[in-house]
Amino acid sequence: AQPNVVILATGGTIAGAGAEATNSATYQAAKVPVDKLIAGVPELAKVAAVRGEQVFQIASESFTNDHLLTLGKRVSALAKQADVDGIVITHGTDTLEETAYFLNLVVHTDKPIVIVGSMRPGTAMSADGMLNLYNAVAAAAAKDARGKGVLVAMNDELNSGRDVSKMINIQTSAFKSPWGPLGMIVEGRNYWFRLPAKRHTVNSEFDIDKIDSLPLVGIAYGHGNVADTAYKALAASGAKAIIHAGTGNGSVAKNVVPALRELRGQGVQVIRSSHVNAGGFVLRNAEQPDDQYDWVVAHDLNPQKARILASVALTKTSDSKELQRIFWEY
């Protein structure tokens, strides 16, 4: 029998439509329903028995914590079903890396979960959604994709949902991991080259079935002339942790240091990440004395991924040492 793959559709450009074939960047996202997406790629039937569910129909820039929880619980429930072998999620590309990392942290299954989007709407010349969707379904249908954590299938590559990121917004080669792809998918077949080293899915201490809300975590962007306004405002609005999207090694402008120390004293977690373009690598006690200030570093996680991990981790602990352990392990 063919493997059973469920496609959970959430919107994005892969479900987008533009006025003309030349509209590769000007179009409306989240227009085409999942059944039409599936019907548009009849070749899917060759690799799996596919059925679709429309979970949301939104552009992913508006993907809230509630969307993450709803989607995560649905993925978890499906993964427990004996008649489901793999799950594909169609998603806008803007926050695809956040959802991929979230599911990688909280869904306890070794069944393949593959997230896919497109950079051009289906109405455009050289639309990339059809092949990306075919690849994602083929990847999710394959036994060799099991146990590798949540995967992202874009542009013929299979990247780990943990560290893949949208690096450019106007090319089909948008998704890259700073540490390279796990594999390639060519003509519906997976070719693997490496495995994730970080804890995920079945080896995670976090479980979506036990998470009903996510604490607020804010991100404030560092630059040379930055003031402490945004940091204070985030804390005042209830953020339990602030991700400092810092320069270089998560460095902090001296004008901001006093406010961050004060906020930490009030119980807000301060997590230093980096906004460097090709991927940061923040080391503890480099640039800032984290031990002395009781701050946490985000390791190689970019600010948006650090927000996801902090939100999930804070459901279990408010201890900064535990948080730091979690940031090293996941």
Q: Which residues are catalytic?
A: 13
The answer to whether residue 61 forms part of the interface with ligand ASN (CB under 6 A) is yes
CA distance 117 to 114: 10
Q: Which residue is nearest to ligand ASN (CB)?
A: 92
CB-nearer residue toward ligand ASN: 13 or 273: 13
Site string for ligand ASN, 169-208 (x = CB under 6 A): ----------------------------------------
Tokens describing residue 101: 């990392």
The arrangement of strands across the sheet holding 157-160 comes to: 49-58, 4-11, 86-90, 113-116, 151-154, 157-160, 183-186, 189-192
Chosen residue from 119, 136, 208, 217 binding ligand ASN by CB under 6 A: 119
Chosen residue from 60, 247, 273, 311 binding ligand ASN by CB under 6 A: 60
Residue 119's closest CA among 31, 3, 25? 25
CB-nearer residue toward ligand ASN: 130 or 253: 130
CB-nearer residue toward ligand ASN: 168 or 257: 168
The answer to whether residue 129 forms part of the interface with ligand ASN (CB under 6 A) is no
Chosen residue from 8, 32, 48, 59 binding ligand ASN by CB under 6 A: 59
CA distance 150 to 8: 14
- Using the Cα atoms of residue 160, residue 197, residue 185 and residue 300 in order, give the sign of their dihedral: positive
Site string for ligand ASN, 65-104 (x = CB under 6 A): ---------------------------xxx----------
CB-nearer residue toward ligand ASN: 120 or 244: 120
Rounded least distance, CB 117 to ligand ASN, Å: 5
CB-nearer residue toward ligand ASN: 93 or 201: 93
Rounded least distance, CB 93 to ligand ASN, Å: 4
Site residues (CB under 6 A) for ligand ASN, limited to 208-267: none
Answer whether 89's CB lies under 8 Å from 76's CB: no
Considering only 53-61, 77-85, 176-184, 312-320, which stretch makes contact with ligand ASN by CB under 6 A?
Answer: 53-61
Chosen residue from 5, 8, 29, 106 binding ligand ASN by CB under 6 A: 29
Rounded least distance, CB 90 to ligand ASN, Å: 10
Query: Total residues at the site for ligand ASN (CB under 6 A)?
Result: 11
CB-nearer residue toward ligand ASN: 25 or 195: 25
Rounded least distance, CB 88 to ligand ASN, Å: 15
Chosen residue from 117, 122, 161, 218 binding ligand ASN by CB under 6 A: 117
Task: Find all residues with CB under 8 Å of 259, minimum gap 6, and list them.
Answer: 228, 231, 232
CA angle 145, 146, 152 (to 5 degrees): 50
The answer to whether residue 303 forms part of the interface with ligand ASN (CB under 6 A) is no
Residues in contact with ligand ASN by the rule CB under 6 A: 12-13, 29, 59-61, 92-94, 117, 119
